[in-house]
Amino acid sequence: MAELSSNLLFVAFILYLVSTFIFAGSIKGKADTRNYNGWAKVGITVTIIGFAAQVGYFITRWIASGHAPVSNLFEFTTFFGMMLVAAFIIIYFIYKASILGVFTMPIALLIIAYASMFPREISPLVPSLKSHWLQIHVTTAAAGEAILAISFAAGLIYLLKFIDQTKASKRTFWLEAILFFMISTVGFVAVTTGFSLADYKADYTWVNKDGAEETLSYTMPALFGPNEAKLTAGSGMEPFIEMPAIINAKKFNTVIWSILAGLVLYGILRLILRKRIGAALQPLVKSVNLNLLDEIGYRSIVIGFPVFTLGALIFAMIWAQIAWSRFWGWDPKEVWALITWLFYAAFLHLRISRGWHGEKSAWLAVVGFAIIMFNLIVVNLVIAGLHSYA
């Protein structure tokens, strides 16, 4: 059953990749964002088949594990990617915007590829997760974030179309920075796969925040090592910098390697294209309807915000009260969930009362998704807390 689950996820990934190219073909040379031509029909059909395969992965993994497969970073992130595709399918049938598939599907692919770099073994739940609130809280929070992510795709397309790429400016710089961090996700997959194929491993002893000695295995060279690290096994090197015990040094090291790989990939792309990545992508969006994209971004947040509120705050507080006898504890994950909620609440306030439409709204949607990804990557990987099991 576990092998079938993995195969279904792989099939979904391939179909999502195929649908991306089909959607790109459907918009070529068209004069409007709303293109429900033959290629678009094929693209959405392939996407739906891929989504069905991923739902099959989710169900079979649930059967194999005996619990909702959202208990670790691999499971949560793949579920997040699945919900992103589900949100895209629904919004696509409302607006018939093929261009949204060209950018949403690669985001889903990056998320699933990112997830696949973490341990995929099925393991028993830790005691704190043995509750029906696991699937209620986590799945709802992930669904809310996925719907909000659609606004990022719409906002990114809007900015690619709207921003003048003929001259360098602050706007082109920040847009390029966004694209760089997306490329860094590819870098993460590349370096993780490379060191895995090389069978790299180094074991260190270190002292945790309670003063106890533990052992930690690195699968990438330790640019950043754990507190008071000592190499005990493997052909690794002594860390350049030791991190305080409150920081998960191994995962922080992974983030740094991902950024370095992203810099290399970005540099190669710039050499090949001889222009900014944003400028190279701009021809894809030359025919988009900016007003339609603005509406899609806004509607995504209007729908995603209450779903996120239920999952990430209300349901989380109920479970925290049951599990830890307090509904709030300023855990890093809780704090960033609140920051995410406050940001999107501010977005809706500025949109409705201050009339922040168009470019301002697009930038806010992009920043909001950056906060979500910071929560997913940095808070999960680097900052130690009660949610470190993720």
Residue pair 43/22 in contact (Cβ under 8 Å)? The answer is yes
Percent above pLDDT 90 for the chain: 45
Q: In which residue are the tokens 């360098």 written?
A: 168
Residue 124 within a domain: yes
According to the model, what pLDDT value does residue 217 have?
Answer: 86
Q: Of the segments 243-247, 257-261, 294-298, which one has the largest average pLDDT value?
A: 294-298
Which distant-in-sequence residues (6+ apart) come within 8 Å of 40 by Cβ?
23, 26, 96, 98, 101
According to the model, what pLDDT value does residue 260 have?
Answer: 92
Tens of pLDDT along 14-51? 999 999 999 988 776 444 444 457 888 899 999 999 99
Exposure string for 60-78, b = 16+ CB within 10 A, e = fewer = bbbeebebbbbbbbbbbbb
Give residue 381's pLDDT band: very low, low, confident or very high (50, 70, 90): low
State phi, psi for 329 to the nearest 5 degrees. Answer: -140, 10
Residue 242 within a domain: yes
Q: Are residues 371 and 308 in the same domain?
A: yes
Q: Are residues 113 and 212 in the same domain?
A: no
**CA-to-CA dists, residue 95 to 36, 150, 171, angstroms:** 10, 13, 28
Q: Are residues 45 and 75 in the same domain?
A: yes
Q: Are residues 151 and 286 in the same domain?
A: yes
Q: Are residues 23 and 156 in the same domain?
A: yes
Domain count, the chain: 2
Q: Are residues 283 and 342 in the same domain?
A: yes
Q: Are residues 246 and 280 in the same domain?
A: no
333 or 2: whose pLDDT is higher?
333
Tens of pLDDT along 119-128? 888 877 776 6
Does residue 2 register a pLDDT over 70?
A: no
According to the model, what pLDDT value does residue 134 have?
Answer: 80
Q: Are residues 331 and 238 in the same domain?
A: no
Average pLDDT (340-368) is 92
Q: Are residues 31 and 144 in the same domain?
A: yes
| Residue ranges making up the domain that contains 239 | 202-253
Pairing of strands 230-234, 241-242: unpaired
Does residue 201 register a pLDDT over 70?
A: yes
**Whole-angstrom Cα distance, residue 89 to residue 3?**
27
Q: Are residues 345 and 240 in the same domain?
A: no
Tens of pLDDT along 9-23? 999 999 999 999 999
Q: Are residues 28 and 138 in the same domain?
A: yes
Tens of pLDDT along 164-196? 988 889 999 999 999 998 898 888 888 888 888
According to the model, what pLDDT value does residue 33 have?
Answer: 45
Does residue 385 register a pLDDT over 60?
A: no
Residue 263 within a domain: no
Give residue 341's pLDDT band: very low, low, confident or very high (50, 70, 90): very high
Average pLDDT (67-89) is 91
**Whole-angstrom Cα distance, residue 323 to residue 80?**
24
pTM (two decimals) = 0.86
Residue 267 within a domain: no
**Whole-angstrom Cα distance, residue 252 to residue 244?**
11
Average pLDDT (53-76) is 89
According to the model, what pLDDT value does residue 227 have?
Answer: 83
Percent above pLDDT 70 for the chain: 93
DSSP 234: E
Exposure string for 371-390, b = 16+ CB within 10 A, e = fewer = bbbebbbebbbbbebebeeb
Q: Are residues 144 and 55 in the same domain?
A: yes
